[in-house]
Amino acid sequence: MHEYLLIGIVGILAIGGGLGVVFLANPINNVMSLLLTMLALAGLYAAMGAHVAALFQVIIYVGAILVLFIFAVMLLNLREAAGRIFTGPQTPGIGGAALALAIAMGTLLWGSLRKSPVPDEGLSLLERAGVHRLAIDLFTDHLLVFELTAVLLLVASIGAIIISRK
C-alpha cells in the first residue's frame, strides 16, 4: 500500500514535470520542469533498489546535462524569442496521434505481459543488484559496449568543439 502511494506521488511529480516541459513558454521553466522530472525518476530508481542508477541520474543528468542546457539558454538569451511556442494548426492532430501511440504501446505491453507474465512481487521484498554485480557485468559481458561509449564521448566532445568554433 505504501509502495503504491510512493509510486503515485513521485509519478505525478514526474508527469507534471513532463507537462511543464511541453507546455510552459519560457525555456528556463522548461529546463526546471525537466529537472523536476529527473529528480522524481531518480527517486523511483532508488525505490526500486537501483541505487547506482539513481546516483548517476542525479550526477550526470542533473549535474552535467541540465547545467549545460541552462548555460545554453542563458547564453542564447531565448526569452525574447518565445513569442510563439507551438508550430502551426496541426497541434491538436499531433496530440491525438500521441494519445494513439500511448494506447498502442500500453496495449502491446499489456498483451505481451499477459502472454509471459513477470513475477510481480513487492518492491521491497526482492534482492537487489548491487554495485558489485553491476561492475562485474559491466566489465566482463559489456566491456566492448563500455569502450565504444568512451570512443563515442571523445568523438562527440571533439565534434562539439569543431562545430561551435567560428
Residue 41 Cα to chain centre, angstroms: 7
Among 5, 111, 115, 119, binds another protein (CB under 8 A): 119
When asked if residue 68 is in the footprint of another protein (CB under 8 A), the reply is yes
Question: Any residues with CB less than 8 A from the CB of 122 and at least 6 apart, and which?
Answer: 3
| Residue with Cβ nearer another protein (87 or 115) | 87
What angle separates helix 66-76 from helix 27-47, to the nearest 10 degrees?
180
8-state DSSP, 118: P
Give me 148's grid cell: 565504444
Does residue 120 bind another protein (CB under 8 A)?
A: yes
Minimum distance from CB of 115 to another protein (Å)? 15
If one asks whether residue 55 binds another protein (CB under 8 A), the answer comes out as: no
Comparison of 115 and 133: residue with beta carbon closer to another protein? 133
Site for another protein in 123-162 (CB under 8 A): 123, 126-127, 129, 133-134, 137-138, 142, 145-146, 149, 152-153, 155-157, 159-161
Q: How many CB atoms lie within 10 A of CB 151?
A: 9
End-to-end alpha carbon distance in the chain:
58
Query: Looking at 9, 58, 62, 94, which residue binds another protein (CB under 8 A)?
Result: 94
Nearest distance, CB of residue 30 and another protein, angstroms: 5
62 contacts another protein (rule: CB under 8 A):
no
Binding of residue 58 to another protein (CB under 8 A): no
- What are the distances in angstroms from CA 87 to CA 83, 90, 91, 92, 93? 11, 8, 7, 11, 12
**Considering beta carbons, is residue 7 or 115 the nearer one to another protein?**
7
Q: Quick check: 88 binds another protein (CB under 8 A)?
A: yes
- Structural contact between residues 75 and 48, judged by C-beta atoms closer than 8 angstroms: no
- At its nearest, how many Å lie between another protein and the CB of residue 98? 5
